[in-house]
Structure 1
Amino acid sequence: MTDLTRRAAVTGLAVAATTSPALAAGAPRRVVSMNACLDTVLVRVADRSQIAALSHYARDPYGSTIADIARTLPFTYETAEEVVSLNPDLVISSAHSSLATRNALKRMGVRQERFSVPESVADSHKQIRDVAALVGHPERGEALIARIEAALRAARPRLGQPRLTAVIFEPNGLAAGGGTLVSEMMDRCGFENVAGRYGLKKWGNIALEPLVADPPQVLLAGESAPGAPTWAERVVSHPALKRVSGRMHRAVFPQRLLYCGGPVLIHTAAAMAKAREDAIRRFA
């Protein structure tokens, strides 16, 4: 384990196990999260006793960075019946959370706060501050942001290191173009995101053929789920990619690092920094 990944593992652990002596006046005592990315923030900034439930996605070790913590906490499948039965005084969600459940909660007068998907590190930091303030622990939000900023500084390329062209390539060829949070992370970690040269704008799929015909220096490739039988999963390890291995370095970039900001950025920065260093050593 490298120093970067070791730091990511340590700082990625929780505030969830801590409990403050007393909650601030008016702070919610039963919070339900209906979004996997908000789950990762909530477990870092709320008291464990405040967390009434996370989303079921948080328990998936393939898709979540907090699966170990999430398995010790209640969860829902986002149905209105489940959420209401928990008697929450705050539900946090995103535009991707169940619309039917959000509408039902609105009719029943349950307090909700809806968050958008952060498209920059600055957006992500604001989301952390907003969630931390909602649960009555703004100081934990600032502490988490400080850890993320430290991880970003540690992941910066050294002076004089070359920028490497790179593309994210997840199952089904899913990739991120410019104007996304993960593209900003690529830039901060010493990569030039060249998804645009394959016709991608923001989010979309890159076909295997143009990728093989004109490969980037680094392919930040997803991992196939264990036993996954579908073409969508198998494309990330297609034999055609091996034919350009002399010109393209392949690095592991799990899909769980693709969408979320917050504390996930600590893991993202470490994974990208390792990919950059490995590629530089290979091509040196």
Structure 2
Amino acid sequence: MLGRRRCLPRLSGLALLAGALLVAPVSAAPKRVMSLNLCTDQLAMTLAGPDQLVSVSFLSREPSLSMLHEEAQAYPVNRGLAEEAFLEKPDLVVTGTYALHNTTALLKRLDFHVEEFSFAQTLETIPGEIRRMGVLLGQEEKAERIAGDFTDELEAIAARQCDRRPTMIAYDQNGIAPGGGTLGDSVMRAAGFANLAADLGVVGMAPFPLEEVIAARPDVISISRKQDAPTLGEHVPRHPAIAALPETRIGAFVPEGSLSCGAPGVMEAVRALAALRAEIAPCPQDATQ
């Protein structure tokens, strides 16, 4: 049930060892790692040892996309091109399944060690992604600590939830909203909100009619911050009819970049929304804190 505490599974030591053996053969940790994808950037920068990570994607320096944009300033950047990896000669290349497929295929044909990560769709998948990157980098102990802390905090937040679940929609450019099976949906639910889009049958990222937003009158509409280069699509979530909703909170309630990837930084979005939920629809224990 949505209002009940959800326990996230913990892997036993044997399961972790078995998973590690499946991910990569037992060998020395790679000394030169190159990340070609925004989301693998976030994991690699979190876990890599000193001087182990030699390059990250240029998107990792973009504040609107990357929670670690400041940390990324310390690394050379790439644009995901095979030529860049060929010149860098890394021991390991990590990238995403949605990255440039011609780059991935070419590097594999050239016998580079390439590991692909799929885009994590829910909070529950993130600890496994952290552990997998830890195995690849030879940073298993650090990864286990970070994954364990992530799970523990999610469980603690879930334990503070109750049946008071205000309605919310994350309304982005061109009226796109995250429905069921998305990272945004799992973040909203973990924070104690009911996702309007998912409750009305939306699956994945899909257009959501402006008229339905207005008719539903959600308690919260989360919109992105205005960009330096605005687009016409930004006008949809900022429509005057939405702004006129009398009892709806509208704003950019999550930190920039916190919902871009299934990485530890997404916890910043959960914390922000959990605090907002406690403010607008406090559970009994919130009143005593």
What TM-score comes out, normalization by structure 2 length?
0.81
Q: Which residue of 2 aligns with 1:130?
A: 132
Instruction: Provide the rounded CA distance (Å) in 2 between the counterparts of 1:139 and 1:239.
Output: 51
**Cα gap change, 1:58 to 1:159, in 2 (>3 Å):** closer
Gaps of 5+ in 2: 1-25
Is the 8 Å Cα contact of residues 177 and 201 (structure 1) preserved in structure 2?
Answer: yes
**Cα gap change, 1:159 to 1:66, in 2 (>3 Å):** closer
**Cα gap change, 1:35 to 1:145, in 2 (>3 Å):** same
- 1:242 maps onto 2:262 in alignment: no
Shift of 1:160: 4.5
The 10-residue stretch of structure 1 (165-174 or 106-115) with the greater mean CA deviation from structure 2: 165-174
Q: Which residue of 2 aligns with 1:279?
A: 280
**Cα gap change, 1:157 to 1:209, in 2 (>3 Å):** farther
Gaps of 5+ in 1: 1-23
Q: 1:114 aligns with which of 94, 116, 120?
A: 116
Aligned runs of 1:93-112 on 2, under 5 Å? 93-112=95-114
Query: How many residues are paired up?
Result: 257
Instruction: Provide the rounded CA distance (Å) in 1 between the counterparts of 2:177 and 2:159.
Output: 23
Instruction: Provide the rounded CA distance (Å) in 2 between the counterparts of 1:257 and 1:174.
Output: 17
CA deviation digits over 1:185-230, x for unaligned, max 9?
Answer: 221211111204555222112232221222211112211213x331
Shift of 1:253: 3.0
Shift of 1:158: 3.3
Is the 8 Å Cα contact of residues 223 and 254 (structure 1) preserved in structure 2?
Answer: no
Is the 8 Å Cα contact of residues 121 and 261 (structure 1) preserved in structure 2?
Answer: yes
**Cα gap change, 1:266 to 1:100, in 2 (>3 Å):** same
Instruction: Provide the rounded CA distance (Å) in 2 between the counterparts of 1:238 and 1:166.
Output: 17
Q: Which residue of 2 aligns with 1:5?
A: none
Q: Which residue of 2 aligns with 1:54?
A: 56
SS of corresponding position for 1:32: strand
Aligned runs of 1:130-149 on 2, under 5 Å? 130-149=132-151
**Cα gap change, 1:59 to 1:46, in 2 (>3 Å):** same
- 1:266 maps onto 2:276 in alignment: no
Is the 8 Å Cα contact of residues 31 and 90 (structure 1) preserved in structure 2?
Answer: yes
Q: Which residue of 2 aligns with 1:21?
A: none
Is the 8 Å Cα contact of residues 223 and 253 (structure 1) preserved in structure 2?
Answer: no
SS of corresponding position for 1:273: helix
Instruction: Provide the rounded CA distance (Å) in 2 between the counterparts of 1:237 and 1:169.
Output: 9
Q: Which residue of 1 aligns with 2:182?
A: 180
Q: Which residue of 2 aligns with 1:253?
A: 254
Q: CA RMSD for the aligned pairs? A: 2.2
**Cα gap change, 1:204 to 1:160, in 2 (>3 Å):** closer
**Cα gap change, 1:266 to 1:199, in 2 (>3 Å):** closer
Q: Which residue of 1 aligns with 2:197?
A: 195
Instruction: Provide the rounded CA distance (Å) in 2 between the counterparts of 1:279 and 1:222.
Output: 20
Shift of 1:139: 0.8
Shift of 1:235: 2.6
**Cα gap change, 1:255 to 1:162, in 2 (>3 Å):** same
Shift of 1:279: 2.6
Instruction: Provide the rounded CA distance (Å) in 1 between the counterparts of 2:250 and 2:77.
Output: 36
Instruction: Provide the rounded CA distance (Å) in 1 between the counterparts of 2:142 and 2:49.
Output: 10
Instruction: Provide the rounded CA distance (Å) in 1 between the counterparts of 2:151 and 2:39.
Output: 18
Instruction: Provide the rounded CA distance (Å) in 2 between the counterparts of 1:174 and 1:79.
Output: 30
What TM-score comes out, normalization by structure 1 length?
0.83
Instruction: Provide the rounded CA distance (Å) in 1 between the counterparts of 2:274 and 2:178.
Output: 18
Q: 1:26 aligns with which of 28, 37, 42?
A: 28
The 10-residue stretch of structure 1 (155-164 or 78-87) with the greater mean CA deviation from structure 2: 155-164
Is the 8 Å Cα contact of residues 93 and 115 (structure 2) preserved in structure 1?
Answer: yes
Instruction: Provide the rounded CA distance (Å) in 2 between the counterparts of 1:156 and 1:43.
Output: 28
